Amino acid sequence: MEKAKRKYASIFELDGIPQMSKALPLALQHVVAMIVGCVTPAIIVAGVAGLDNANRVMLIQSALIVSAISTFLQLFPIGKKGGFRLGSGLPVIMGVSFAYVASMQAIAADTGIAAIFGAQIVGGIIAVIIGFFIDKIRKVFPPLVTGTVVFTIGLSLYPTAVNYMAGGSSSANYGHWTNWLVAFITLAIVTFLNHFTKGFVKLASILIGIICGYIIAAFFGMVDLTAVAQASFFQAPQIMHFGIKFEPSSCIAIGLLFAINAIQAIGDFTATTTGSMDREPTDKELKGAIVGYGCMNVVGAFLGGLPTASYSQNVGIVTTTKVINRVVLGMGAGILLIAGLVPKFSALLTTIPQCVLGGATISVFASIAMTGIKLITTQEMNFRNTSVVGLAVALGVGVTQASASLAMFPAWVTTVFGKTPVVIATVAAVFLNLVLPKEKPEVKKETEEK
């Protein structure tokens, strides 16, 4: 009996195989916490691109499959332990990132979905380069800059959530009271579970909110299961199913986001190791993590999977529970992979009414914006730093809100700078942070005295 117990590794150890009865519930917890966030960008992009049901299902399948493979690469790196390895070897979960949604919507609407995957390949290559030179490049992206960008990303996603709450701008009953009712009920459930419950229920708040909202929406006749009936039980991903197109303005827009996300990943990996392993990630781990992230996004583009990134909510689970066993998280990735190979499951996700998705995800977008504010406020909010943040956000949001002001410029200028505030905010924040003089100690003292 004692022998049988000893052969299992502890769930609090990085390596080894733990007892399945302990590992499986913890793996499911990770899946529940991230699966909605993983597939929602694909649903949003599919809607903007005007994909039919079969292609929407394929895009969701690809999102799940690529997220699973990306997670496997980070958990179990390729290469020798002593030398460079592709992947970090740290307990993280990867999934399709909301950070790219606003830019992907603009690209899908103007240039087509193939341009997203072309830009993703370029972005992946940029991430690989950043990974190899992370020590030098990260100085250009301090928390003040990355926080400003993340905050702007959150702001840029609010209209998407509100349009979804109203039923979707392309819907015939856009703005109908039933859409708003279902959306606010869903939002109320998610908010209640987030603030008044603990443990698994709190972690699954968005999933539970969507299930409840889905049931309520069904009573209003908003659910059509035709796509589920037509979908098959198994389908492997298809290489270049959506095509690949290299459109310069799209590559610039997505490439900048990849640069920011590569730097932002340092925060997630650092939070993971400091919160669960009481140490900073090594340079080798960070390099492997970011290069692996870039390579996997290049591969993902050929498989039809939208851009992935490390998932902060799963970092939160790891740091809270201290469960760092890679097999546990690998089982979670395995569940995602199986789900991605089953079109009926993906088709079921396409039947979620847009008002339900809007009610559930507006809280996610709000948390993205607040994460940005948290990053910003890790720096002292003196006159210089508030100028960097204020001007970058003002220019980004202002130009996007008045995109007609770019009408006299070439079309590519509007595509890069006028469709989403993230690009202008990024460029402005980096530039201002480099050129504005830092406050001298005596100036700081005089300001405080006044």
* pLDDT 10s digits, 385-421: 999 999 999 998 888 888 778 878 877 777 677 767 8
At 60, phi and psi to the nearest 5? -70, -45
Q: Which residue has the tokens 């095509």?
A: 243
Whole-number percent of the chain with pLDDT over 70 = 92
pLDDT of residue 2: 47
> What are the tens digits of pLDDT across the range 1-48?
444 445 787 777 888 888 887 788 778 778 866 777 788 889 889 888
What is the greatest pairwise CA distance in the chain?
78
- Residue 15, C-beta contacts closer than 8 angstroms, at least 6 positions apart: 9, 325, 326
Question: Which of helix, strand or coil describes residue 95?
Answer: strand
What is residue 437's DSSP assignment? P
d(CA 181, CA 166): 9
Contact 324, 50 (CB under 8 A): no
Using the structure block, give the residue that is written with the tokens 């606010």.
184
pLDDT at 443 over 50: yes
Average confidence (pLDDT) over 56-82 = 89
Query: 94: part of which helix (H) or strand (E)?
Result: strand 94-96
Q: Percentage of residues in the chain with pLDDT exceeding 90? A: 22
The helix/strand/coil state of 308 is strand
What pTM was estimated for this model as a whole? 0.76
H helical segments located in 88-174: 101-110, 113-132, 134-137, 143-165
Summarised one tens digit per residue, pLDDT across range 309-323 is 887 767 767 776 777
Q: Is the pLDDT of residue 194 over 70?
A: yes
What's the token pair of residue 26?
């913890």
**pLDDT band at 69; cut points 50, 70, 90:** very high
Q: What is the dihedral of CA 295, 128, 34, 359, to 10 degrees?
A: -120
In 221-330 the beta strands, taken as DSSP E runs, fall at 308-310
How far apart CA 423 and CA 272 sit, in angstroms, is 28
Burial class (CB in 10 A: 0-12, 13-18, 19+), 158: middle
Work out the burial of residue 360: count CB atoms within 10 Å of its CB; fewer than 13 is exposed, 13-18 middle, 19 or more buried.
Answer: buried
**Predicted local confidence at residue 391, as pLDDT:** 94
Residue 78 phi/psi, 5-degree rounding, is: -100, 125
Given this model, what pLDDT does residue 175 score? 84
Query: DSSP 3-state helix, strand, coil percentages of the chain (rounded to 5)?
Result: 75, 0, 25
Helix (H, G, I), strand (E, B) or coil at 96: strand
Looking up tokens 């970011």 gives 290
